Amino acid sequence: MVIMLVFMSLTYLLARISQCKSQTLIKSPGGNLMPIPLPSAENRFINNVESRQQKIAIMPKRPLQPVKKPNRPNRGWLLKLARALQTSLDTEELVRIFAEHTAAIVNYDSIHFSTSGSDIEFQQGELGKHSCHYDVVLHGGTLGAVHFTRNHPFSEEETNILEDLLCNFVHPLHNSLRYEKALRASMQDALTGLQNRASLDHSLAREIQLAGRYSTPLSVIMLDLDHFKAVNDTFGHPVGDQVLKVVAAEVSESVRDSDIVFRYGGEEFMVVLSNTGLAGASQLAERIRQAVERADVSAGKYELKTTISLGVASLNGEEDARHLIEKADDALYQSKSCGRNRVTVLKDSHHEAAASSKHHRTAQA
C-alpha cells in the first residue's frame, strides 16, 4: 500500500515538471512568476508569416535578375550534336548548326566565327559587353576563332560547357575547311591565282539568273594578249608565264570588288560585271587596257611591254551564257582585226553581221 502511494506521488510530480517545461514563465505585476502557454503550431505559423510580411514591406524593392543555370549536355544530346555537324560540308552552314545547338545549352547574344586566313566569316546576333574567345586548334594548326558575347558575364560552369561543345566542333570544322580548300583549288588557275574556266561556267550562269530575276544589267569583257605567241617563241615560256601574271594582276587591280576576273584559257581572260551596262563596261575595259599598256614586265634579264585587245558585250533578254560569251568573242575579234590594243563594244544589232564575218574569215584561213 505504501509502495502504491509513493508511485502515484512520483507520477504526479513528473507530470507537473513536464507541464512546467511546456510553459514560459513571465513576471506578474505583483512580482510573482506566472506560467503562460507557448503558442500552438498554428499560431507560430501565422506569426512567422506576419513577421516575413513586415520584413518584406520594409525592404527596398530591387529589380530581379534571373540567371538561367546552364543544363549540362548529356551523352544523348552530344550525340545529336555530332550527327547534326555531319550533315554539311559548307563551313558557314556548319557554324550556324553549331550556334543553334549551343544556344539551347548556354545563353548568349551573339556568335562570331572567322577562319585564320579570314576567308570565311560568320556573324549572328548583336554584340554584348562580355565575351568569351576561343581559338580552334587541331594538330598545332589554328582553324579559326569563335567569339561568344552577351550583356552579363559568363560563369565558370558555362565556359567549361562551351569548351566541351567546341571539342565536338573541331573535327567537322576541319573537314569542311579541307573540302572548301579542295573545291577552291579546282576552281582556281594555278599560274595566275584567278578563277578558271570551270568557275566561270558556274559563276556566269548564276549571274545571268540573278540579272533575269531582278531585271539588272550584266556585261562581260573578254581580253586577249597581243602577239603573245611571239613572246613565248622569242623569250621562252617562263617569260611568257611572267607576262600572264603581270596582266592578271593589272586586270584584278583595275576592277571593282563586285567584278569577277577569270582566266578563260591560254592568254585570254574574262571579266564578269554584275549590274553594269554597256557604257560602264566600256569605260572599265578602257581603264584595263591603259593599265596593262603602262605596266612593266620584269622577267630575269628581260624588261618587256605588252598590250591587250578587248571586246565588250551585254546580256540581252533571254540569252544564255554561251550567247553572251559569243558576243564578247565577236567584239574581241573586231579589236584584233582593227589593229589590236583597243576596245570594241558590240551592240546587238551588229552581232549577227560580226559573227558571219568572223566565220567567213576563219573559213578562208
Predicted confidence (pLDDT) at residue 14 exceeds the cutoff of 60:
no
pTM of the model: 0.62
Predicted confidence (pLDDT) at residue 54 exceeds the cutoff of 70:
no
Residues 48, 53, 55: CA angle, nearest 5 degrees: 95
Element (H, E) at 214: helix 197-214
Q: Return the CATH number at 275.
A: 3.30.70.270
Give the Cα separation of 166 and 172 in Å (integer): 10
Band of residue 27 on the pLDDT scale cut at 50, 70, 90:
very low
What's the average model confidence in pLDDT over 134-148? 92
The pLDDT assigned to 73 comes to 79
Identify which of 77-86, 112-121, 304-313, 354-363 has the greatest average pLDDT: 304-313
C-alpha distance from residue 77 to each of 73, 137, 148 (Å): 6, 24, 21
Q: Name the grid cell of 42.
A: 498554428
**How many domains would you assign to the chain?**
2
Q: Indicate if 156 and 215 belong to the same structural domain.
A: no
Is the model more confident about 328 or about 59?
Answer: 328
Enumerate the active-site residues.
267
Burial of 44 (0-12, 13-18, 19+ CB in 10 A): exposed
Whether 264 contacts 224, CB under 8 Å: no
Give the Cα separation of 190 and 177 in Å (integer): 19
Give the Cα separation of 338 and 344 in Å (integer): 9
Whether 198 contacts 187, CB under 8 Å: yes
Q: Indicate if 221 and 158 belong to the same structural domain.
A: no
Residue that terminates a domain, selected from 164, 186, 208? 186
Whether 168 contacts 141, CB under 8 Å: no
**Residues whose CB falls within 8 Å of the CB of residue 147, separated by 6 or more in sequence, listed in order:** 110, 111, 112, 113, 131, 132, 133, 134
Band of residue 41 on the pLDDT scale cut at 50, 70, 90:
very low
Burial of 341 (0-12, 13-18, 19+ CB in 10 A): middle
C-alpha distance from residue 283 to each of 233, 276, 290, 293, 345 (Å): 33, 11, 11, 16, 10
User: Range of 307's domain?
Assistant: 197-364
Q: Indicate if 205 and 123 belong to the same structural domain.
A: no
Q: Indicate if 93 and 161 belong to the same structural domain.
A: yes
C-alpha distance from residue 166 to each of 74, 76, 81 (Å): 15, 17, 11
What's the average model confidence in pLDDT over 229-233? 95
Band of residue 232 on the pLDDT scale cut at 50, 70, 90:
very high
Give the Cα separation of 313 and 301 in Å (integer): 39
Predicted confidence (pLDDT) at residue 353 exceeds the cutoff of 90:
no
Q: Indicate if 354 and 209 belong to the same structural domain.
A: yes
Predicted confidence (pLDDT) at residue 65 exceeds the cutoff of 80:
no
Q: Return the CATH number at 85.
A: 3.30.450.40
Q: Is residue 39 part of a domain?
A: no
Is the model more confident about 16 or about 123?
Answer: 123
The pLDDT assigned to 156 comes to 92
Give the Cα separation of 329 and 191 in Å (integer): 23
Predicted confidence (pLDDT) at residue 94 exceeds the cutoff of 60:
yes
Q: Indicate if 230 and 345 belong to the same structural domain.
A: yes
Q: Indicate if 228 and 331 belong to the same structural domain.
A: yes
